[in-house]
Amino acid sequence: MVATLAAVVLAASSAASPDIAWFQSARLGMFIHWGPVALRGTEIGWSRGAQVPVEEYDSLYLRFNPTAFDADAWMDLAKRAGFRYVVPTAKHHDGFCLWPSSQTDYDIMATPFRRDILAEISAAARKRGIAPCSYYSILDWRSPDYPLGSPGGKTAKENANMDRHMQVVLAETTELVRRYGLKMLWFDGQWEAPYTRERSLAFQRELRARFPKLVVNNRIEASGRMQPGDPGGDFATPEQHVGEYNTKSPWETCMTLGDQWAYRPNDRYKSLDQVLTILVQTVTGDGNLLLNVGPDAEGRIPPEQTKLLLGMGQWLARHGQAVYGTRGGPFRNGAWGGATRRGRTVFLLVLDRKADQLSFPELPARVRSCRSLVPGMTASVETEGHGIRVRLSGTRPEVGPAIIRLDLDRDAWSLGDLPGPTQTAAAG
């Protein structure tokens, strides 16, 4: 009888908490910023009433007909790129819904395209083992019920009704999770005054009650207005920069490949080495990376973005063991690079191309084996005081880090967080 009771308690407790384990193990997500604004090539939401007059912006949907859109092709690319979850902008600050919303006619069914884009992406993702998720903006600069408008929240509306707006937010987010089996909601648009602490707490309470296992980010919290001890999201969201090393609470860096989130013709793109460096800095800090694509108005992912994603996927096909299912550390990361760990294995991902010796001052474990995982390089290790010295030699890879695998005599997670290397260049 006692065993049964324990099983019930365990099942209830595990069912009652957000399923953050899949999220941290997945490590890499595909952000998709897309909507009728792709017809103008300006920033989604922010260009409404700025570079694009409001009336023109709000009429773009009448011409939005992305006939080249192919969710299976997009998710094939996502798979080849190594993404494990996908986060399309179901509804951004401009209020346009990429799915047939029960709460508004300003949605994909009002366009010439008339197909449920979110359903097609979610189904294609699930078919390939990619977790379907979605971005959702709490603010809506177009809705008459949301008190602030464009440009960028700088105008006020007379007959706004924030209570009604929050009912729409709860109804739409509930619909998104239920209809598309979403594993995570990536909230945004939480920083303006109408979204008070009280509204944030009430919304979180209701959403968590409906979906106890759903993962949500920290932008569900009314930024700058929450009190210490308030409940909040399940992971932090540093944007356009790599988050600090942190193994105590989950976090995810979101990053564009170019300068703009939404499609911009002739955008300026990062190099593959820059993308891989961002990936390495993020996962060695124990974070996830949410890397963005901005499809064009025809429904195509621009070739420059495709090329970068395939390059990343080729690297991950060779070295994904040092990324997926790992945690950051035990050595703190830095300009030298960083480490990831799984079981008794530690991977050193060395970004500093001049570093051919790494002296780690502390390692309370024995190293059973040490070997380079990149062709053309060798690695060796020796104990040094309370730590180890790792030596690298050979030709560094064209792009991405040198990778060394250390196998220890104990579980690497039990080591906690240890100082990074004190010396990375050759002595003398």
Q: How far is the CB of 413 from ligand JFZ (least distance, A)?
A: 31
The DSSP-derived string for 282-329 is HHTTT-EEEEEE---TTS---HHHHHHHHHHHHHHHHHGGGTTT-EE-
Contact between 188 and ligand JFZ per CB under 6 A: yes
Q: How far is the CB of 44 from ligand JFZ (least distance, A)?
A: 6
DSSP conformation class of 250: -
Out of 113, 191, 269, 413, point to the residue binding ligand JFZ (CB under 6 A). 191
Residues ≥6 apart with Cβ < 8 Å to 335: 351, 352
Out of 261, 331, 336, 360, point to the residue binding ligand JFZ (CB under 6 A). 261
Q: Are 200 and 174 in contact (CB under 8 A)?
A: no
Smallest CA-to-CA distance from 100 within 114, 112, 79, 86 is with: 114
Q: How far is the CB of 239 from ligand JFZ (least distance, A)?
A: 6
- What does the per-residue mask of binding to ligand JFZ show for 105-144, with x meaning CB under 6 A? ----------------------------------------
Between 187 and 245, CB nearer to ligand JFZ: 187
Out of 175, 239, 273, 417, point to the residue binding ligand JFZ (CB under 6 A). 239
Residues 304-363 that bind ligand JFZ (CB under 6 A): none
DSSP tally for the chain: helices H, then strands E: 9, 17
Q: Count the site residues for ligand JFZ by CB under 6 A.
A: 8
Between 44 and 381, CB nearer to ligand JFZ: 44
Q: Are 362 and 386 in contact (CB under 8 A)?
A: yes
CA-CA-CA-CA torsion for 395, 400, 402, 404, nearest 10 degrees?
-150
Residues 40-79 that bind ligand JFZ (CB under 6 A): 44-46
Between 261 and 336, CB nearer to ligand JFZ: 261
Between 291 and 363, CB nearer to ligand JFZ: 291
Q: How far is the CB of 146 from ligand JFZ (least distance, A)?
A: 15
Convert 381-420 to b/e letters by CB count within 10 Å (16 or more is b): beeeeebbbbbbeeebbebbbbbbbbebeeebeebeebeb
The DSSP-derived string for 52-75 is B-HHHHTTGGGG---TT--HHHHH
- What does the per-residue mask of binding to ligand JFZ show for 137-176, with x meaning CB under 6 A? ----------------------------------------
Torsion angles phi and psi, residue 201, rounded to 5: -65, -40
- Which part of the chain contacts ligand JFZ (CB under 6 A), choosing from 38-46, 139-147, 326-334, 413-421? 38-46
- Which part of the chain contacts ligand JFZ (CB under 6 A), choosing from 39-47, 72-80, 177-185, 368-376? 39-47
Between 44 and 125, CB nearer to ligand JFZ: 44
- What's the distance, CA 179 to chain centroid? 22
**Strands 155-156 vs 148-149: parallel, antiparallel or unpaired:** antiparallel
* CB < 8 Å & 24+ apart, contacts of 376-384: 377/402, 379/404, 381/406, 384/359
Q: Look at the chain and count its residues.
A: 428
Q: How far is the CB of 294 from ligand JFZ (least distance, A)?
A: 11
Q: How far is the CB of 33 from ligand JFZ (least distance, A)?
A: 6
Query: Given the rule CB under 6 A, which residues bind ligand JFZ?
Result: 44-46, 188, 191, 239, 254, 261
